[in-house]
């Protein structure tokens, strides 16, 4: 199977991955994948388990370095950038298995998301001049606003993240990601463990995020209802290779995709 050709990306692609490959020893987890994410769009990354989706996310956020290829954020090459630097340039993410800071409150979790936006250094933190005091107050206030924005209520703001119910933890994670003022938001299976109603609500919320905050969203998703309902483009991975790409309706009808999901019919 030859790799699917990517059409020339539009001028306003927020993110472009060019021929990226990731090998772990002899294992090729992601094999020569190219794709792009247009500005203000919602793009889905789908594929069977083990297809390399999360590995791809980890490369986009700097946790892994690609073995080959390059990643461009706007015009900036972030292929070898550190995770915190990539975050600073406007990429935020959530995790498949929620990774909140369990021993911190919901508000503190979101305040950690503000880290790159804040300026207080060591001596500022110790002596706390008015500038730092103001920054701290504003950050706390903004964190509370974000928590309210993702649909949490006041009483849970100051509870430890580890004590929150699952659904609330997902929301805190999104609020924490939003706190870094991203241009591009990566969501790794945001509807995992949700019932159909909750998934539907999250789908609506993703649209709101894009329209309100002028965000671009790239998500990994298994729930086809969500994928088909929300995405403008879909990229399909299988065994580390891109096997299809395009509008949801086109991808759904693609024989290669059907085969990857259902197996070959003899």
Partner 1 sequence: MSELRAQLREWRAAVQQRLPPWSSRTLAGLLLVIGIVLPFLFSSSSAFMNATIIALAYAVMSLGLNIVVGFAGLLDLGYVAFYALGAYSLGWFGSGFFFKAHVHVLVSPVASTLLGVHLNFILILIGAALICAAAGVVIGLPTLRLRGDYIAIVTLAFGEIIADVAVNGQSVHIGGGMTLTAGNLGISAVDSPYFPGIGSFNLLNLRPWYWLIFAILLFVLFVNLRLRDSRLGRAWVALREDEVAAVSMGIPLVKTKLSAYAIGAAFGGMSGAFFGTYYTVVNAGQFQFGFSIFILAMVIIGGLGSIWGAVVGGLALGYINNYLIPDVLNNFPSKLGFNFQLTSVEFGIFGFLLVIMMILRPQGLIPERRRRLEMTAGIGAEDAQLVETQGPAGGPI
Site residues (vs partner 1, CB under 8 A):
24, 58, 61-65, 82-84, 87-88, 92-93, 95, 99-104, 108, 111-113, 115-116, 118, 120-122, 125-128, 132, 136, 160, 176-177, 179-180
Record the tokens describing residue 35, joined without a space. 């794709």
Distance CA 205, CA 151 (A): 10
Nearer to partner 1, 159 or 252 (CB): 159
What residue has token string 């993410």? 93
Classify residue 228 by its DSSP letter: H
Nearer to partner 1, 82 or 207 (CB): 82
DSSP conformation letters of 31-94: EEEEEEEETT-EEEEE-STTSSHHHHHHHHTTSS--SEEEEEETTEE-TT--HHHHHHTTEEE-
Smallest distance, partner 1 to C-beta of residue 59, A: 9
Record the tokens describing residue 36, joined without a space. 């792009």
- What is the four-CA torsion angle of 115, 43, 58, 160, rounded to 10 degrees? 50
Smallest distance, partner 1 to C-beta of residue 148, A: 20
Nearer to partner 1, 91 or 234 (CB): 91
Smallest distance, partner 1 to C-beta of residue 265, A: 35
Nearer to partner 1, 185 or 227 (CB): 185
Smallest distance, partner 1 to C-beta of residue 217, A: 16
Centre a 10 Å sphere on the Cβ of residue 60 and count the other Cβ atoms it contains: 24
Nearer to partner 1, 186 or 202 (CB): 186
Smallest distance, partner 1 to C-beta of residue 152, A: 18
């Amino acid at each position: 199977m030859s790799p699917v050709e990517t059409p020339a990306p539009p001028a306003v692609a927020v993110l472009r991955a060019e021929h990226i490959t990731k090998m772990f020893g002899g294992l090729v987890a992601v094999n020569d994948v190219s794709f792009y994410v247009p500005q203000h769009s919602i793009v889905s990354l789908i594929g069977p388990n083990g297809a390399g989706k999360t590995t791809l996310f980890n490369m986009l956020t700097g946790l892994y370095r690609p073995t080959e290829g390059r990643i461009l954020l706007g015009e900036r090459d972030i292929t070898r950038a550190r995770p915190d630097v990539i975050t600073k340039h406007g990429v935020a993410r959530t995790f498949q298995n929620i990774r909140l800071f369990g021993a911190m409150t919901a508000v503190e979790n979101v305040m950690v998301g503000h880290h790159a936006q804040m300026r207080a250094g060591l001596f500022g933190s110790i002596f706390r001049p008015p500038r730092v005091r103001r920054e701290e107050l504003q950050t706390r206030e903004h964190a509370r606003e974000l928590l309210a924005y993702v649909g949490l209520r006041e009483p849970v703001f100051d509870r430890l993240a580890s004590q929150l119910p699952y659904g609330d933890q997902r929301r805190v994670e999104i609020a924490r990601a939003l706190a870094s003022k991203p241009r591009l938001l990566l969501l790794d299976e945001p509807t995992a463990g949700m019932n159909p109603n909750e998934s539907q609500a999250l789908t609506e919320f993703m649209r709101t995020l894009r329209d309100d905050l002028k965000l671009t969203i790239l998500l990994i998703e298994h729930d086809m209802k969500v994928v088909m309902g929300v995405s403008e483009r879909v990229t399909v991975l299988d065994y580390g290779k891109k096997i299809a790409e395009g509008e949801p309706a086109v991808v759904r009808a693609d024989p290669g995709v059907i085969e990857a999901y259902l197996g070959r019919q003899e």
